[in-house]
Structure 1
């Protein structure tokens, strides 16, 4: 079986079961084999066991948040892991989220609630594209907070979590 014959694989990390399962259903309709993880640590273990073609991760999760997971991936010495495209999804409405995800090496950012058509459009672009040029995409709706402003307490907590893990 050649690489082009094998099914595409994705890891979906979200602590909300309904979110994981909904995204998995959409991905399976596009021919992906999905591994579901209820937190970042489970996702990291799945990625280390067999690097996927795509990671879809929530930001806010217990144990290992999405930013920590993204950081581990980008800092990996193993190229099949460090080059995995990462789609971040979040319900966090913070003007700094997009910038931070981009700075940490995320490939795309989608705001929850997710739309099937927008999600699959971004996913298919990510798995088909050249991942050397990272980009961040977000839905074009009025509910997305943009601009530079004060970082929300939730995003500040996630960033502190990442900083603490770097010191260990």
Structure 2
């Protein structure tokens, strides 16, 4: 699998370690930065990571920060990205099965590295369930006009 990975300074350590883990597991990994633990602005690294996945240059993307929240928000602003913020094996599994998440956000300050590694493994190995979830993915990727679903007074 081709995986794009990016982080800010608060996710740098896990990014570096996960990158090595993924390469050793046989994946092709491209690092979109940051390249140190020096304070930086995460959108500068997360947006290009997500854009590369959305463009089809990579199968999946992983973005990391302190909490993972800002990284998930930035990634989800890129059309075609469905980024799941995961903190457990179950959230990683559901992110793939139910949401066909093509991007994973992890908060380095919220879980141990062993947990992060297990989450990445689960997220990579879990297939999209399809079925009823496919309709919902279509609704996410192709939202109805703004007036749809609103009640008239």
> What TM-score do the two structures reach when normalised by structure 1?
0.46
> What TM-score do the two structures reach when normalised by structure 2?
0.50
Q: Higher relative CO (CA 8 A, sep ≥ 6), structure 1 or 2? A: 2
